[in-house]
Chains A and B, each alone.
Chain A
Amino acid sequence: MTEEMTSKADRISTPVNIVVAGAGITGIRTAIDFAASGYKVLLVDKAMHGGGILTRLDHQFPNDHCGMCRMLPMIDRGTDKETCLRRGLFHENILTCYSTEVVAVDGKAGDLAVNLSVVPTGVDKTRCSGCGECERVCPVMVPDHFNGDWVNRKAIFLPTPHLSPDSRVIDWQACTSCGACVEVCPTHAITLNGEREQVELKGVYAVVLARGVNLYDPALTDVYGYGVLPNVVTATDFERIMSSSGPYQGEMMRPSDGKPIKKIAWIQCVGSRNVMIGADFCSSVCCMFAVKEAILAKQKMGKESDAVIFYMDMRTFGRDFQRYKDEAENVKGIRFVRMRVHSIQLHENTDDLLISYVNKDGEQVDEIFDLVVLSTGRKKDFLTCDWAEADGVFQVDRLPGFKDIADSVVGASAISEQVLRMIHQQNLKPDKNESDHSPDISFVERRPSYITVLCDCNTSLSNPIDFQKLENTIHALSSGHQILRVEQACSKEGWQTIRKAIMDGQANRCLIMACDAAVDFSRKREFTNELGFPVSFVDLLDVVSLVRRFQEGEDATDTVSKEVFMRLNRLGTRSYASPLKQAQVKTVLVIGGGPAGLQAASVLAAHGFTVKLVEKTDRLGGKLAQIEESDLKQHVEKMLAGVNKNPQIDVYLETEVIQTSGRPGVCMTKLKHASGETRIIHHGATILATGGKEVDTSASVVSESHERIITGFDMDAMLKANDSDLVKGPVSTVVMIQCVGSRQEPNNYCSRICCLKSLKNAIRIKDLHPETDIYIFYRDIMTYGNSEILYTEARKKGVLFIPFDTDNPPRINMASGAIIIEGDDPFLGEPVQIKADWLALATGVMPNDVSDLKQVFSFETTQDGFIQEADSKWRPVDTERVGVFVCGLARTPARLDEVLLEANAAAQRVLTLLEKDHTSYSPVTARVRNAICSVCGICIEVCPYQARYMDEDRRVVHVDNLACQGCGTCAAECPNNATVLGEYEDHGVMSMIESSL
């Protein structure tokens, strides 16, 4: 269903259950969530392409990898094309439509009328062969914004480099309507009419608003000379300089003169954290973004290169970010300079850039850079739309901000869950999938009889193909091969002709040679469904792509014949086994009765699942008492009461999980009560919400205890008690020390909550006792996102902030009986001594011990004992074991609101797995031929998804069909060829190899 519709009629004829507005990471994630549950999704975006800002980046922090494809469905893999997401999103239940906006939403949730405004692309995708002639002849040149405006592009162009099929779109603002492209297009796919079309959809269940953020335009703050000085670029533009798909093919050369780049400066917080321009927020990702860019750039620039980051606070607030930054600094040699750069100048008569600053020792330093990167974040204003508050509209973020991928993915799935909850409560159903047809077995099982379809578009290629020779090759395979020439395989008529030929000729294997337009993923599905063929019995050969690497005019016959020969051979080896369906147990085991566990349990119960909530201690609620946000506290209290009354939730207190077996969808787990009594429960999925605790690391800075040296948590509690000394006063001086025991080995991670806690405590004290002096010793204040306002407020109220380094932390001197804090003030360049009435140590959090559970569920933990998710960016609430999910403090330090979102996201992942009564699995799944299996167990060891297990009694190896992702490593490693991967059986691959030569 992925083909873009350009006409109203087409669109209306397609049922749409859910519209997702915004095709960035968040939109894509929600769309996949809905699609996986069988709902028809229309994914729209105002931009000309999907993927948002991610399309411009090749690598993510903190692992310098991509991994976007890991968002694709793992259950029902066959519903998706299984290809790099940069090429596009191809799912049978998702229709993508760009240059499209939702303009109005009316009605009630569950039955909405949605009005869309569509700007045509100008190119009919169903006809375009992707030959690119139009782009070649287009006379209009405009700056290529995607690539930082350094190079030009045409008015008809490919909006992203990887796009597939690669049909162009017209930029109507640039187009002069000269008509050159129309004339040259061999398939008459271009219409020069850029007029908006209005489309109304009826009966839509919900609309998801996944608006992204606008990037800040640094030309607005002229201090850094963006747009005036050469070689001052933004961080996102810099990604294009580094990318192999960028304007310089990944060569590190600078835009102004092509000089090799050897020395780069990053300037943080451009357009963010600046009250002067009303930007009282942190853009959250730019610090890590800069660290990543610096690491990658340094790698590319090689020896004798230099990368410097000028920053105010290094906001490494993700679980793995501090170690990443430390490694950048200590191992990779990235320099970090704490300094708000005040201006950039041109160096003499060159294009080089000069930054002057005063270093730690008070000396003036002039440094010359080849390039300066401005770490620009989001724009101040949000993207607004009038229908955002309409009934049936679910907003991913009410206050959008820039977010790390993991947080976006979590936020997205949490919204999917809410939408599906509404749908379930209203008892609405997904539109039936036309593609649920099962193939006609009698037909399929007959001996292979082939037909090869040659589309005439192949004759218009710039590389000649000798058709006679090609036909001879095909006939040489066997005389029974049928060959059909059609005029336009992509057209309706062409389609009918092919269909008829197949029926008449009783063929049951079909190879279609055509262009991109005809070989689209969704069309293939439609085609095979109509014919009653298994999808794998039809192969589509995109000849245009195949010959693209040739020089113009070079004869392509040989290559094409070989390819055809290879494909036909492969088709011959294909067989069909009807997919087995597996029933699911609609019960979920939730381990941990803290806020995360309660949230997950209540949500799943609301979807109609039975929940078994297991808690180690004798009560639910976790660290409820410590929750300070009153609305969240109320929410948790309400859940607590609800859980106890809910007949769908069975609570097991003082109980532990001691054993589990089974596969995703059907598991059996043994619980043990403190009394020793055990019981077995059956369930389909598991959520680990084992939580965490505050960690008192005060001992790392104070050797003896003192009643007025407390933790930030204690101070918070005291400030809530009206009769405490802190509230009653008088209080003359309060000192807080941040990162006590955090962000350095052995607990080298940011706990995320301590800065906020200290700031809130400080503000509360200032409100109570304005005369109190408050000093906060800090390393980096982690007020990411909109919490930056707390930092601003504290400073406004007169709280003093004194930064320190780990090598020179403040010292606590209690020799005189008083609490004296000694440190160095880098701004004054002098030592400071402060006598405090109260000293609050900001200690962090750590996960609860899960070593026993780790044995039971065989998941991994980080070096700090957090549960390791399957992928820290793209699959944050999955563990590597399919069907076992994780959320909350068990996985990462987080604020309570973030914990609750994670619980929703984990519940959503459960829905994807268990919502359908049966789940079928992809044909590309491994199986074991027991007769020749020697039960050596190598395959079990190498399987990355723990999809294999040994049946010890029967001495056979089993494969979990749902957990298996079809990577085929087991088959390659099996010493006896006992393991085979569906559709990649040895004989098929071998015959393909042989015939390709």
Chain B
Amino acid sequence: MEQFEPKIIALVCNWCTYTAADLAGTSRLQYPANIRMIRMMCTGMIDSKYILKAFLSGADGVFVGGCHPGDCHYIDGNLKAGKRIPGVGKILEQFGFEPDRLKLKWIGASEGPEFQKYMTEFVDTIKTLGPSQVRDRMIL
């Protein structure tokens, strides 16, 4: 059987985390190709429904990356995301899906190696979890 290649969406903030992703690229730090990166201005703008939408559209995992607490360009958007996004994880859990399919991490502008590491780890996690059932079971 063909190896399972998960579909992963990474919603990253424009300031720190996107810079880290870019730095990972310039530094030639390789990370899996499965990740579709979508740049948002700040994690604070990541609406719960975007995450649900991603799962409903067939994502196997959703990664959210933002600035470290205190570093958010918009003062505390990341802290608000820090409250909101785990809530979405809870919803997933309530419906019987693995909460590990959603991950929130703070990645600073210089943390290219960390970006690579988190991405690789996340893809591994999702690979062990297997394909997401959200789409099939939630869309009737």
Interface size bracket, A side: 35 or more
With contacts A83-B15, A973-B80, A997-B7 known, is A66 near B109, CB below 8 A?
yes
Cβ-closest chain B residue relative to A555? B33
12 other contacts beyond A63-B70, A880-B75, A968-B44, with CB at 8 A cut-off? A58-B109, A65-B70, A66-B71, A82-B41, A83-B18, A549-B31, A550-B33, A924-B41, A969-B45, A984-B45, A990-B50, A997-B54
Knowing A245-B112, A554-B33, say if A967 contacts B74 (CB, 8 Å): yes
Query: What string of 1s and 0s marks CB contacts (under 8 Å) between B51-89 and chain A?
Result: 001100111000000001011011111001000100000
Contact with B along A7-30 (1 / 0, CB 8 A): 000000000000000000000000
Do the beta carbons of A67 and B71 come within 8 Å of each other? Answer: yes
Q: Is the C-beta of B26 less than 8 angstroms from some C-beta in chain A?
A: yes
Can you list 14 A-B contacts (CB < 8 A)? A69-B15, A83-B15, A86-B109, A250-B113, A549-B24, A554-B33, A944-B77, A945-B74, A967-B44, A968-B40, A989-B38, A993-B54, A997-B57, A997-B59
Interface positions of A (Cβ within 8 A of B): 58, 63-67, 69-70, 82-84, 86-87, 130, 132, 158, 161-164, 166, 243-245, 249-250, 545, 548-551, 554, 556, 558-559, 562-563, 566, 880, 924, 942, 944-945, 965-969, 971-973, 981, 984, 986, 989-990, 992-994, 996-997
If A245-B112, A972-B46 touch, whether A548 touches B25 (CB-CB below 8 Å) is yes
Task: Using CB atoms, name the residue of chain A closest to B29.
Answer: A549
Contacts known (A549-B24, A972-B47); A996 close to B19, Cβ less than 8 A: no
- Which residues in A have their C-beta under 8 angstroms from that of B80? 942, 969, 972-973
Interface contact A549-B9, CB-CB below 8 Å: no
Task: Give B residues with C-beta under 8 Å from A.
Answer: 7, 9, 14-16, 18-19, 22-31, 33, 36, 38, 40-42, 44-50, 53-54, 57-59, 68, 70-71, 73-77, 80, 84, 108-114
Give the residues in chain B near A558, CB-CB below 8 Å: 33
Chain B contacts of A130 at CB under 8 A? Answer: 26
Which A residues are in CB contact (< 8 Å) with B53?
Answer: 990, 993-994
Q: How far is the CA of A163 from the CA of B25 in the complex (A)?
A: 12
Tell me how far the C-beta of B12 lies from the nearest C-beta in chain A, rounded to whole angstroms. 12
Shortest distance in angstroms between A991's beta carbon and chain B's nearest beta carbon?
A: 10
B97: shortest Cβ distance to chain A, in Å? 17
With contact pairs A545-B25, A562-B36, A993-B53 given, residues A162 and B71 touching in the complex (Cβ less than 8 Å): no
Residues of B within 8 A of A945 (CB): 74
Can you list the 7 inter-chain pairs with the closest CB atoms, starting with the nearest? A968-B45, A967-B74, A548-B25, A969-B44, A84-B19, A245-B110, A996-B36
B57 adjacent to A994 (CB under 8 Å): yes
- Contact of B111 with A244 in the complex, beta carbons under 8 Å: yes
A545 to B68, CA, bound (A): 24
Task: Give chain A's interface secondary structure class.
Answer: loop
A794 to chain B, nearest CB (A): 40
Shortest Cβ distance from B22 into chain A, in angstroms?
Answer: 7
List chain B residues, Cβ under 8 A from A996: 9, 36, 38
**Considering the chains assembled together, what is the distance between the CA atoms of A243 and B76 in angstroms?**
24
CB neighbours (8 Å) of A162 from chain B are 19, 22-23, 26, 109-110
For residue A367, give the distance in angstroms from its CB to the closest CB of chain B. 31
Bound-state CA distance A545–B23 (Å) is: 10
A163 CB contacts on chain B under 8 angstroms: 26
- B77: which of A969, A992, A997 is its contact (CB, 8 Å)? A969
Which residue, B16, B54, B68, B75, has most C-beta atoms of chain A within 10 A? B75
- Closest residue of chain B to A965 (Cβ to Cβ) is B74
Q: How far is the CA of A687 from the CA of B53 in the complex (A)?
A: 46
Measured between C-beta atoms, what is the minimum distance from A406 to chain B in Å? 16
Closest CB in chain B relative to A56 CB, distance in Å: 10
Pick the contact of B15: A84, A880, A972, A986 (CB < 8 A).
Answer: A84
Measured between beta carbons, the chain B residues less than 8 angstroms from A82 are 14, 41
* Shortest Cβ distance from residue A566 to the other chain B in the assembled complex, whole angstroms: 7
B7 to chain A, nearest CB (A): 5
Whether the Cβ atoms of B45 and A971 lie closer than 8 Å is yes
Q: Which residues of B contact A83 (CB under 8 A)?
A: 14-15, 18-19
Q: How long is the Cα–Cα vector from A693 to B85 in the complex, in angstroms? A: 47
The answer to whether residues A971 and B112 also contact, given A65-B68, A996-B38 and a CB cut-off of 8 A, is: no
Contacts of B38 in A (CB 8 A): 566, 989, 992-993, 996
* Residues of A contacting B7 in the complex (Cβ-Cβ under 8 angstroms): 997
Contacting pair A244 B73 (CB below 8 A): no
Q: Which residues of chain B have C-beta atoms less than 8 A from A164's C-beta?
A: 22
Does A967 contact B77, Cβ atoms closer than 8 Å? Answer: yes
CB-CB < 8 A to A548: which residues of B? Answer: 25-26, 28
Closest A residue to B76 using CB positions: A944
Instruction: Enumerate chain A residues within 8 angstroms of B15, measured Cβ to Cβ.
Output: 69, 83-84
A87 to B25, CA, bound (A): 13
- Closest-by-CB residue of B relative to A558 is B33
Chain A residues with Cβ below 8 Å from B47 are 971-972, 986, 989
Give A136's nearest chain B residue, CB to CB.
B28
Measured CA separation A171–B118 after assembly (Å): 35
User: Within the complex, what minimum Cβ distance (angstroms) separates A386 from chain B?
Assistant: 38
* Closest residue on chain A to residue B5 by CB atoms: A558
Point out the residues of chain B lying under 8 angstroms from A989, CB to CB: 38, 40, 47, 50
How far apart sit A815 and B18, CA to CA, in the bound complex (Å)? 69
Task: Tell which of B68, B74, B109 touches A84, judged by Cβ atoms closer than 8 Å.
Answer: B109
Q: Are A993 and B50 in contact (CB under 8 A)?
A: yes
Instruction: Report chain A residues within 8 Å CB of B28.
Output: 132, 548
- Interfacial chain A residues near B40, Cβ < 8 Å: 968, 984, 989
Nearest neighbor of A545 in chain B, beta-carbon distance: B25
**Complex alpha-carbon distance, A566 and B59, angstroms:** 14
| Closest Cβ–Cβ distance, residue B102 to chain A (whole Å) | 14
Tell me which residues across on chain B come within 8 A of A972, comparing CB atoms.
44-48, 80, 84
A249/B14 contact (C-beta < 8 A), A981-B45, A997-B9, A997-B58 known: no
A323 to B111, CA, bound (A): 28
B36 interface neighbour in A250, A566, A880, Cβ under 8 Å: A566
Q: How far is the CA of A519 from the CA of B49 in the complex (A)?
A: 31
CB distance from B29 to the nearest CB of A (A): 7
Q: How far is the CA of A163 from the CA of B7 in the complex (A)?
A: 30
Please tell me if the beta carbons of A549 and B45 are within 8 angstroms of each other in the complex.
Answer: no
Shortest distance from the beta carbon of B73 to any chain A beta carbon, whole Å: 5
Contact B73 A69 (CB under 8 A): yes
- Taken together as a complex, chains A and B put the C-alpha atoms of A164 and B27 apart, in Å, by 12
Q: A87-B19, A990-B53 are in contact. Are A243 and B110 (CB under 8 A)?
A: yes
Contact check, A161 vs B110: say whether CB atoms are below 8 A apart. yes
Q: Which residues of B contact A967 (CB under 8 A)?
A: 41-42, 44-45, 73-74, 77
The answer on a CB contact under 8 Å between A944 and B54 is no
Q: Which residue of A lies closest to B26 (CB)?
A: A166
The interface residues of chain B lying within 8 Å CB-to-CB of A554 are: 33
Query: Would you give the shortest CB distance from A982 to chain B, in whole angstroms?
Result: 11
Most buried by A among B29, B47, B70: B47
Closest-CB distance, B46 to chain A (whole angstroms): 6
Chain A nearest CB from B137 CB (Å) reads 17
Give the interface centre of B26, B46, B111, B112 by most chain A CB atoms within 10 Å.
B26
Residues of chain A within 8 A (CB-CB) of B9 are 993, 996-997
Q: Is the CB of B36 within 8 A of A84?
A: no
Bound complex: CA A967 to CA B41 (Å):
6
| CA–CA, A58 and B113, complex, Å | 14
CB distance from A841 to the nearest CB of B (A): 38
A130 to chain B, nearest CB (A): 8
Shortest CB distance B71–A (Å): 5
Within the complex, the shortest CB–CB distance from A70 to chain B, in Å, comes to: 7
Complex CA distance for A992 and B22, rounded to whole angstroms: 20
Contact A245–B23 (Cβ < 8 Å) = yes
Bound-complex Cα distance A67 to B74 (A): 10
Q: Whole-angstrom distance from the CB of B98 to the nearest CB of chain A?
A: 18
What is the CA–CA distance of A239 and B30 in the complex, to the nearest angstrom?
25
Q: Give the distance to chain A from B77, nearest Cβ to Cβ, in Å.
A: 5
Most A Cβ at <10 Å: residue of B27, B33, B48: B33
| B101 to A: closest C-beta gap in Å | 14
- What is the minimal beta-carbon distance from B91 to any residue of chain A, in angstroms? 15
CB-based contact A87/B113 at 8 Å: no
